[in-house]
A and B are shown apart, each in its own frame.
Chain A
Amino acid sequence: MKVTWGAYGGQAAVIRLGLPPKVLDTDALSETEAVELDRLVAAVAPAAGEERPGRARDAMSYTITVEDGGRSTTLTRSDATMSPAFAALLGWLEEHFARQ
């Protein structure tokens, strides 16, 4: 499974637009980490799709794409619309990336 995620918009939207998305391959994870990531992805997968930030201004948007077994699912949420499950997945990915 490959997970790609990126952040867009916000006060630093112009700077952020030039930064590449981050990529994580579960092959590079320990078994424990891979199981945890699977669990987090499964928790948000039913809510796949896009939600616009509504009246929020300068809120950041996040896109997480999960590629697994030839299937690809993309989720887009903003600071103003993300669910706890989405926040947990994004937080886990960012924590993992920060430890690299």
Chain B
Amino acid sequence: MTCHFNCIIPPHLLEKLLRSDDSEVRQAALDTLMTTSRLRGERGVRASFVGSAAAPGGGRRTVFDCKHSTSLPSAVFARSEDGPESVDVSANRAFDGLGATRDFYKAVFNRDSIDGRGMRLTAFVHYDKRYNNAFWDGHQMVFGDGDGKMFSDFTGSVDVIGHELAHGVTENTAGLEYHNQSGALNESMSDVFGSLVKQWSLKQSADEADWLIGPEIFTPGIDADALRSMKAPGHAYDNDLFGKDPQPDNMENYIKLPDNEMGDFGGVHFNSGIPNKAFYLTAVRVGGFAWEAPGLIWYESLKASHAETQFQEFANTTYRKAAELFGDDSAEQLAVLAAWQDVGIQISGILAGVARARSLAADRSGGTGGENGLATVSQQIGALAAQVTGLAKDVTALKSK
């Protein structure tokens, strides 16, 4: 099949051929479209058709190679859903990371891809030269290789891939504005779900997880654990080159920065440490797998939020969602209450003293629901049973005297 700049085959026929049962026909149609769209530089058209090569929707993946250019339209095809593995490690890693993230949302939240409607997932690798970053451009993902001095390939961390795609989920749900507190929440959502993608992939419990974002993207010579630590914001790195990680973990240390590029739009990558820590604390208090109760509470709260949601409103929403999902005064709700309190945010309508007493009570009883909570209750019942048995023996002994 050949096609020149002004393609002789009508688009509707090409679309039909792309759905053919014959893989060779599909591939030929795909090649035609790739050539045409590359000539036209229409990456949107290209990604759309590539995804439809086998079936619409379902989060079908396509990876392109930028060949160290900053021009996405001139990127070349590297791997698609139906094709073989690429010889390029970065393309395969990006492809696998997209798949892990897509599968996570489907399995855990029954969400069909990023937009909930089977949105196709497109990624570009080898962007620019020595590019120390990965970003979501509003429609697709872009990965740099790193400069090889400080940073290595950004496809190396599945939590970074999950982080970027979560920006797409946020865009399609709350649409949190990307500045100040709503922007820090936007960043935090990406860290939360990025970390959960990794934990889910590795089947790690909250206790087993590293709670780090981007631990693999530094070169071996850099003394840093990761870009960010959700478990210990402010402690991801401390070295001569980067200085000390400045992320706060409490509202007392909230960082006010200008709402512009130089100020990280009000410190969105700084203050995300506060809600990050709240999620981590909730997860370890609840115990078990963090993508279950804590993840579900955060996901439902994200869906219930809006563009201008601030920390306080989001905290209140998580508390309300925890009650809706697990009941008033459930271990999950008390874990949420205590977590926000520990980062300096009191749930509205609950006096600080009451909140403290209730969270302490939750901590005394194990502070958890799920497997750990049941284990605690089971231990307490066992201890009581042993006491009853002992008392019964004593009574029997007294009666016999």
Contact = CB atoms under 8 A, between A and B. Distances in A.
Contact of A58 (B134, B217, B245, B270): B134
Interface residues of A, number: 31
Chain A CB within 10 Å — which of B70, B134, B171 has the most?
Answer: B70
Nearest to A52: B261
B264 A11 contact: no
The A interface is mostly helix, strand or loop, or mixed, namely mixed
Chain B CB within 10 Å — which of A9, A14, A95 has the most?
Answer: A14
Interface string A75-91: 01011101010010001
A14 B151 contact: no
Contact of A12 (B138, B151, B167, B171): B151
Given A11-B154, A13-B269, A78 B261 contact: yes
A45 to B, nearest CB: 20
Contacts of B136: 56-59
Interface in B143-191: 151, 154, 160, 163-164, 167, 171, 178, 186, 190
B262 interface: yes
Interface string A41-67: 000000000000011111111010000
Chain A CB within 10 Å — which of B135, B142, B160, B228 has the most?
Answer: B135
B288 interface: no
Contact of B167 (A13, A15, A17, A58): A58
B137 A79 contact: yes
B261 A63 contact: yes
Chain A CB within 10 Å — which of B137, B151, B160, B217 has the most?
Answer: B137
The B interface is mostly helix, strand or loop, or mixed, namely mixed
A95 B163 CA distance: 30
A12 B245 CA distance: 11
Interface string B217-248: 10000000001100000000100001101110
Contacts of B137: 55-56, 59, 79-80
A16 to B, nearest CB: 8
A64 to B, nearest CB: 12
A58 B129 CA distance: 18
B129 A91 contact: yes
A94 interface: yes
Given A14-B247, A59-B135, A9 B227 contact: no
B19 to A, nearest CB: 30
Contact of B135 (A56, A63, A82): A56
A79 B311 CA distance: 28
A86 to B, nearest CB: 9
Contacts of B295: none
A18 interface: yes
A84 B264 contact: no
Contact of A56 (B130, B138, B217, B269): B138
A73 B242 CA distance: 29
Contact of B138 (A14, A55, A60): A55
B362 to A, nearest CB: 33
B71 A76 contact: no
Nearest to B127: A79
B41 to A, nearest CB: 11
A84 B72 CA distance: 11
B101 interface: no
Contacts of B373: none
A94 B132 CA distance: 12
Contacts of A60: 133, 135
A30 B400 CA distance: 109
Contacts of A58: 133-136, 163-164, 167
Contacts of A54: 138
Interface of A: 6, 8-15, 17-18, 54-61, 63, 76, 78-80, 82, 84, 87, 91, 94-95, 98
26 contacts: A8-B262, A9-B265, A10-B133, A11-B160, A11-B163, A12-B133, A12-B227, A13-B264, A14-B228, A15-B242, A18-B243, A55-B137, A57-B136, A57-B138, A57-B164, A57-B186, A58-B133, A58-B136, A58-B164, A58-B167, A59-B137, A60-B135, A79-B142, A80-B137, A91-B129, A95-B129
> Top 6 closest A-B pairs, CB basis?
A55-B138, A61-B261, A57-B167, A10-B133, A13-B269, A58-B135
Given A56-B136, A59-B136, 14 more contacts: A6-B262, A9-B261, A9-B269, A12-B151, A18-B242, A56-B137, A57-B171, A57-B190, A59-B135, A59-B137, A79-B135, A91-B70, A91-B128, A98-B130
